[in-house]
Copies of this chain bind each other. A is one copy, B any other.
Amino acid sequence: MLMFREPAIVVNFKTYLEATGKRAVELAKKAEKVSHETNVYVAVAPQLADLSAVAKAVEIPVFAQHMDPIKPGSYTGQILAESVKETGATGTLINHSEMQLKLSVIDELVRITRRNEMVSIVCANNPTISAAVASLKPDVIAVEPPELIGTGISVSKAQPEVVAGTVKLVRGVNKKVTVLCGAGISRGEDVTAALKLGTQGVLVASGIVKAKDPYTIMREFAEAMKR
């Protein structure tokens, strides 16, 4: 099964009602349609309660939004990597700016995903933090300035220096890691700008989930990636 491929579009469903339960499955199917039509890598990150239903319904990669740094055992209410893996999920977001983690926990989660043959996408708020994350050797780093999340003001257009600076600092530490950017990405030209600045894709949420026609926006993003 396809784990990860550049360039990539990763759609975070957050806890939007538009992407909860049945509607999570429907949105994931639209993402799958775009991926099949354009041959661009599109992955989705639904809520945990929807993970197995979504993973069963689509062939594109499915990510958890979070996992906890635990082993099987006496933990209640925490998210075990093995339980995520068994749903058919490909990997997990780690340290999203809405779920920020201790440094030692990020380190542990990167190791846990690797051990479970899952893909780790670690989020970072700025270039310096992205460089720090690069030393932990995740598969993917996604830089997202928190102040732009959900605004529709694209990081790649409004703060190109953040994106370019992240690519530069990360490459100084780690040549292999994939770099995505996110926050405010809502049009094809935002995606084009992101790629020009040296990233290998985008992490998006409201720009797609809250769009009137998510299919058309995802298609626009994917087309921008093919140019």
Query: Which of B15, B72, B78, B125 contacts A80, CB < 8 Å?
Result: B15
- A164-181 vs B: 1/0 string, CB under 8 Å? 000001000100000000
Chain A positions near chain B (C-beta within 8 angstroms): 12, 14-17, 20-22, 47-53, 64-66, 70, 72-80, 82-84, 86-87, 93, 95-107, 124-126, 128-129, 131-137, 149-150, 169, 173, 205-206
Q: Given A87-B49, A135-B128, are A73 and B15 neighbors across the interface (CB < 8 Å)?
A: yes
A205: which B residues are within 8 A, CB to CB?
74, 76
Give the number of times this chain occurs in the complex, counting copies: 4
- The distance from the CB of A60 to the nearest CB of chain B, in whole angstroms, is 18
B70–A103 CB distance below 8 A: no
Q: Given A49-B87, A72-B16, A83-B20, are A129 and B104 neighbors across the interface (CB < 8 Å)?
A: yes
